[in-house]
Chain A
Amino acid sequence: QVQVQQWGAGLLKPSETLSLTCAVYGGSSSDFYWSWVRQPPGKGLEWIGEANNRERPYYNSSLKSRVTMSVDMSRTHVTLKVRSVIAADTAVYYCVRLRGRSLWGQGTLVTVSS
């Protein structure tokens, strides 16, 4: 059974870099497709990007200039970095397998405030 755990800093100042990590336990390294999704307070779900073990990560065009996702060599960890954060980046961030029978991490609230 696949399990997902995520962690990272929850409070940032404007212009800092958001960094979150997602660990996937029990999954197949050959079928590794993980997305990050965020949800600002009181709003809907926004897809940030997907990393997999075959191609370069694919990012939402609205965030592409500030986002980097990477997969470790063991294909068990996915990291998300968002540079130069602003207040509008305040959201709950989820690590998610969105293809097919989706699986969600528990979510991490990231607050950007001076």
Chain B
Amino acid sequence: DTQVTQSPSSLSASVGDRVTITCQASQDISNYLNWYQQKSGKAPNLVIYGASNLETGVPSRFGGSGSGTDFTLTISSLQPEDIGTYYCQQYASLPFTFGQGTKLEIK
């Protein structure tokens, strides 16, 4: 099974800060990685698909990079509405797996 390790588990940053969340896969998953934002009580919302593709309607301050085993989600200038929990998910091979989540808060 391919494990995905996400870090950090929580993050507190100020409005306007550049924020980075990382996800590491236990084996090569090429670019088969999605990033989600989840707000309390809601279904996860796709932010980045295929490691680096911005989902329609997602602000351009969000960006994804990486390939193989190491991936990054970056928010270039943190806004108050970006708070929530972020998850990565690999779909290179079954069983699909999620990262443990990163809870993002405003300082």
Interface residues of A (CB under 8 A from B): 35, 37, 44-47, 50, 58-61, 94, 98-107
Judge whether A100 and B49 touch: CB under 8 Å: yes
Judge whether B95 and A58 touch: CB under 8 Å: yes
Work out how many contacts link A and B, with CB atoms closer than 8 A.
51
A-side interface mostly: loop
Tell me which residues across on chain B come within 8 A of A60, comparing CB atoms.
Answer: 95
- The CA-CA distance from A6 to B32 in the complex, in Å, is 26
Judge whether A45 and B46 touch: CB under 8 Å: no
Instruction: State whether the Cβ of B44 lies closer than 8 Å to any Cβ in chain A.
Output: yes
Judge whether B96 and A98 touch: CB under 8 Å: yes
Judge whether B46 and A47 touch: CB under 8 Å: no
Find A101's partner among B44, B55, B100 (CB 8 Å cutoff): B55
**B67 nearest CB across to chain A (Å):** 15
Give me 18 other A-B pairs in contact (C-beta within 8 A), A47-B95, A50-B96, A107-B43 excluded.
A44-B87, A44-B98, A45-B87, A47-B96, A47-B97, A50-B94, A58-B94, A60-B95, A94-B44, A98-B91, A98-B96, A100-B49, A100-B50, A101-B46, A101-B49, A101-B50, A103-B46, A104-B46
